[in-house]
Amino acid sequence: MGKCVLIIHGGAVNTDPATIPPEKEEKLKQGLKQALMAGYEILERGGVALDAVEAAVKSMEDNPLFNAGRGGMFNINGEVETESSIMDGATLRGGAVSGLKLIKNPVSLARLVMEKCKHSFLTAEGAQEFALSQGLPLQDPNYFKTDEQRDEWLEIIQEAEAEHANKHDTVGAVALDMHGNLAMATSTGGIEGKLRGRVGDSCIFGGGGYANNEVCAVSTTGDGEIIMLAGVAHEVYALRKYKKRSITQAAREAVEVYADKLQGDRGIIALDPEGNVAIESNTNVMRCAYQVDGEEPFVAVWKEELEQHFK
């Protein structure tokens, strides 16, 4: 039996430090620790990577501090539309969903699509009909809305600047289990003030995430449009597979790929088959946590903390 590793992220963004005062930072760290524990306990018991990434992401989807599931960003109409993907590195099978308004845990629906559906990607009403056919409970739309998100949405409407909104946090996880299998999951409520029906990178294989037992597992966060167009998750995979980069170097290069043409926030968590950890971003905030077999968990909100840790 090999070692087990879990890495999670709760979003990367460039922001004024004043927007995350110490009390909010502590709550974010508690939420990250809770999600890490939910997934890592599964790995520690000999469970599989897929179960671990789903559990970790579900924990963050249930936590209104993160932009996924409950607490997801409002679109221009004041609705919460969520999306998610999950991928099994052992089989290269994956499931993705988008345009969801009633599903409590999008990552769980993505997994059902992967395991129970003849398709890999379902959207909107079709995805929700499939959820009902699989016995997945639906939630009232008000479940997903918080006072904080509502206030931010009202500011956008009043300022008529929805297209300039820059709130785009995403949650994700990558895992290596004791059996040598890799998996990834990514989930989000999208960007604040988005147009109805907008699809981001979190449900796009090769953009928001990718997993292959032979190479790596990756989950991304940041500006979805540029992450999709740059194929950031697949870029990490390609740099590892074809240029033989270390996982750290591959993630570092992928954060900057086409940065001259596609400018915006990017964050990456990645893991190779040997359990080497990579966490990179071009932002001052990278909410993340990880645990390696036999070591203490590490949790950070600021990129500065990461840089100190990996010195």
For the annotated catalytic residues, the residue numbers are 170
Nearest-Å Rg of the Cα atoms of the chain is 18
Is 295 exposed, middle or buried, given 0-12, 13-18 or 19+ CB atoms closer than 10 A?
exposed
CA-to-CA distance for 258 and 222, rounded, in angstroms? 15
> How far, in Å, are 40, 122, 252, 309 from residue 34 at the CA level?
10, 29, 27, 20
Position 69, amino acid: G
Helix (H) or strand (E) holding 175: strand 171-176
> How far, in Å, are 71, 72, 82 from residue 150 at the CA level?
10, 10, 16
Helix (H) or strand (E) holding 23: helix 22-44
CA-to-CA distance for 239 and 235, rounded, in angstroms? 6
Q: Residue 121 contacts by C-beta under 8 Å, 6 or more apart in sequence?
A: 95, 96, 97, 98, 113, 203
CA-to-CA distance for 246 and 261, rounded, in angstroms? 25
Please answer whether residues 65 and 27 qualify as being in contact, where contact means their C-beta atoms are separated by less than 8 angstroms.
yes
